[in-house]
Amino acid sequence: MRSIALLSILLGVLVPPAATFASDWPGVVEGELANGIRYVLVHVPDAERQAFSTFLPLHLANDGKHRSQWSHLLERHLLRSTDPKTLRPDSNLTLGGETGESAMRLDASAPHQQWQRALDRHAAWLGKRDFARSQHEQELRSIRHEEEVLIAGHSTHRAALAAWNQIIRHRANHGAARADVHQSELKELIGYGAAHRPVGREILIASVGPVHPERIIERLASEIGTLETQEWREPDARPLQPDSVGHFRGTWDLPIEHMFIWWHLPNGSVDTGLASLALGRMLQMELQNHPELTERVARVHAFRPIPTGEAHYLLITLALSDVGVPERVRPVLEEVVAEVLSDEALRAAAPLSVTMIRHEMGSMQQVRQMRQARNRQLREYAEINALQPRWSLAYATNASFEQTGRAVRRMDAEDVLILGRALRESPMGMLTLTVREERTRAAEPPSSEGP
């Protein structure tokens, strides 16, 4: 555990002591609108901006069969639907979004005097059901450019996750993460969004800033609480069960090979989610810095806990530096995992990893530090930057903000030790994802080498 020990020395003076995490965010109001949409409002009177984030349950790990990254495509369409030419129509209103492993997230923020403009964007996005053909063509061009940038930096872990979903949850032998998007038809995309975008308690609207919660709740009720309820239906899948997990092979159509390891988590609780974040970080650091992997692995990424209809997953992917090296990586990968999950290694590394995760979950102490930064954007967006990881974890584990805060405060190294032991006794899934750029929609299941 060389890298953990080194990091402990480097971060010893940078991470605040555990006592600073006892104080939580002031002025938190949580509730539910008439149509079931949930909200959490964090009142910080001296913040510079009011920020809103809407979380929806469609994401890269539960896209439908042959619909790789359609959640990402929908996110882009929704953002552009209110501001077709740019996502920054002026210097005051900031729009953005992200589709990852646990949610589709739409963001808008504005100076507190113009907070209604930011919230109105969310009302428009949630009610939007169709898109322009010219917009679809524009988004495909933008995604093509985005792919080129990510490929150049070996940062293709999210696209690879979409391929993992096709191979492991839909039992295909090929994940067309690129072709599924670029051969999409607008009419099909609109129908897909209509079928799989709910209006109900699966949606969470989170906000932080200086505006009093009562004013925000009143506008939420009139602008968003009146939307007609629509039931959430996750795209159908035939996921592999824990006792079927082994080593699988599949192909995809981006030019970077990946390897995955994953486990079914014991449950989807927020406590397990926090422990999986800490354990995932430990595995990521050891894999990224292992001397036998440095020339063969370009990037390692540990995902947040991945919620799906059948289970929550802890999943890690390795983007390989070159093609044709998976067989040389696999034995080292298995060796590192066994080492990290040993009791000795867990006891040694878990305390630092827990401290790091607790710090990342956000606190007013963290906000005060960000407000002193030289970077103007970091200062102005301190509250939203600090809160996003906590909101994301709360959403992924279906926990309230209050429950998540309590879980962060009580989290300790013993939680990681317990989860590590559970995973050590559970089947570990592995997937080798090699390159085949032509489109394939084979119905047969992926090939397996057995557990």
Q: Is the pLDDT of residue 39 over 50?
A: yes
User: Would you say residue 320 lies in a domain?
Assistant: yes
User: Would you say residue 75 lies in a domain?
Assistant: yes
Q: Can you read off the two tokens belonging to residue 442? A: 């084979």
User: Would you say residue 16 lies in a domain?
Assistant: no
User: Would you say residue 1 lies in a domain?
Assistant: no
Where does the pLDDT of residue 89 fall: very low under 50, low under 70, confident under 90, or very high at 90 and above? Answer: low
Each residue's pLDDT tens digit, 116-175: 999 999 999 999 999 999 999 999 999 999 999 999 999 999 999 999 999 999 999 999
Q: What angle do CA 346, 350, 353 make, to 5 degrees?
A: 140
User: Would you say residue 18 lies in a domain?
Assistant: no
Q: What is the number of H-type helices and E-type strands within the chain? A: 16, 14
Are 384 and 208 a contacting pair, CB within 8 Å? yes
What is the rounded CA–CA span in Å between residue 408 and residue 190?
39
CATH number, domain of 32, equals 3.30.830.10
In whole angstroms, how far apart are CA 72 and each of 85, 158, 259? 19, 10, 22
Where does the pLDDT of residue 325 fall: very low under 50, low under 70, confident under 90, or very high at 90 and above? Answer: confident
Q: Tell me, what's the pLDDT at 221?
A: 98
Q: Tell me, what's the pLDDT at 244?
A: 82
What is the rounded CA–CA span in Å between residue 157 and residue 142?
18
User: Would you say residue 13 lies in a domain?
Assistant: no
Query: How many Cα atoms sit within 13 Å of 335 on the Cβ side?
Result: 10
User: Would you say residue 9 lies in a domain?
Assistant: no
What is the 8-class DSSP label of residue 96? E
Are 286 and 224 a contacting pair, CB within 8 Å? no
Where does the pLDDT of residue 446 fall: very low under 50, low under 70, confident under 90, or very high at 90 and above? Answer: low
Mean pLDDT confidence for 107-122: 95
SS (H, E, C) 360-384: HCCCHHHHHHHHCCCCHHHHHCHHH
Q: How high does pLDDT run on average in the chain?
A: 90
User: Would you say residue 11 lies in a domain?
Assistant: no
β-bridge mates for residue 315, sequence order: 262
The residue type of 402 is: E
For 243-267, give the DSSP string: GG--EEEEEESSSS-EEEEEEE-S-
Q: What percentage of residues in the chain have a pLDDT greater than 70?
A: 90
What is the rounded CA–CA span in Å between residue 251 and residue 262?
18
User: Domains in the chain: how many in total?
Assistant: 1
In whole angstroms, how far apart are CA 43 and each of 23, 49, 261? 15, 11, 40
- What residue has token string 């679809």? 136
Q: Tell me, what's the pLDDT at 432?
A: 95
Q: Which of 94, 90, 92 is nearest to 106 (CA)?
A: 94
In terms of residue numbers, what domain contains 63? 26-448
Q: Is the pTM of this model over 0.75?
A: yes
Helix, strand, coil: what percent of the chain each, to 5?
45, 20, 35
Where does the pLDDT of residue 447 fall: very low under 50, low under 70, confident under 90, or very high at 90 and above? Answer: low
What is the rounded CA–CA span in Å between residue 341 and residue 335?
10
In three-state secondary structure terms, 28 is: strand
Please tell me the total number of residues recorded for the chain in this structure: 451
